[in-house]
Amino acid sequence: MAQQSKYWSCTKFADWLRGTPKISAGTSDEWHDWEENARKKHPIRYWIAEEGIDHIQDFITFPLRTLHSIKYYINNRWITRTHALTSHARDIRPGTWTDLGNRFLPCLFNELVDFVEIELAWWHIAWDGEERKKYQAPFWASGWWRFRTWRCAEAGIANLKWSMSLTVGEDWGVKEGEKGFGEPTHQAKNAKEIYELYTWWKEVYPNRPDPHDASGWTGYCQEERELNGGRLFGGKTTPALKKKSNQAIKLLRKIEAQYEKEDTDMLVRLIKVRNSLWT
């Protein structure tokens, strides 16, 4: 069943009915203290506002929530495919065999790209009409008709940069001059990590020099073919070419090992930040 988009127990009417205004944000301890105080102050009114209203809302909105559930099932099953990890055709061409170990990197980072360019892009414009206009979001990008097909890298990056700017302040219960005031929040730190991983995959990874070209192996092979009429191995060679071959192979292995380590390091970083990949 789809979740409610707005909970009646979080309205100003519920605050009046409860007799204790609900806090807008807080730590788990602060929420626990609020609940305990609100329940002790007006136990019956607290139950009506926190549970009674929820039962009424569930009953009244049942037909609409059922439609929402059907829509989200269709979306999750055939459009977003939230049950699967997928790769882009530019990274793994459909119909080609790819070993499992070689699927991890493109599948996970392609999903990260979708998270930034679809999920965070939606988050950035969902409750802001001006941002929707700025990024020319179509009607199916947010609201009831949303089907998670709108993609906007600019909006997703803007959301990350906004999150990266968040700092600890008085709304976190920390006053100016106290330890931690003005420092990046946990959300800001995670957003920075996500941004760096996204940028690495989009800009650094696809532009890394080909190891065969960078090591000189491609150049060696070309010279070998020219010397042997197009044949690469088993023909004539020279001491200079033999030396060039050994140097190229040594450097090729070094570059490939560096790339392998970089890929592994980035995968580990992505796994560590996985609990922040939600909207």
Contact indicator for 233, 151 with CB cutoff of 8 Å: no
User: What pLDDT score does 67 carry?
Assistant: 85
Q: Would you state the pLDDT for residue 119?
A: 96
Q: Which two tokens stand for residue 204?
A: 């650094």
Q: Residue 268: what pLDDT?
A: 98
pLDDT of residue 5: 56
- pLDDT value for 3: 53
pTM comes to: 0.79
Q: Following DSSP, what letter does each residue of 173-237 receive, concatenated?
A: T--TTSTTTTSBPHHHHHHHHHHHHHHIIIIIGGGSPPHHHHHTHHHHHHHHHHHTTT--SSS--
At 183 the pLDDT is 95
Contact 142, 179 (CB under 8 A): no
How does pLDDT run across 114-127, given as a tens digit for each residue? 999 999 999 999 98
The predicted pLDDT at position 1 comes to 45
Structure confidence at residue 242 (pLDDT)? 92
pLDDT beneath 50: ranges in the chain: 1-2
- The single-letter DSSP state of residue 21 is P
pLDDT of residue 118: 96
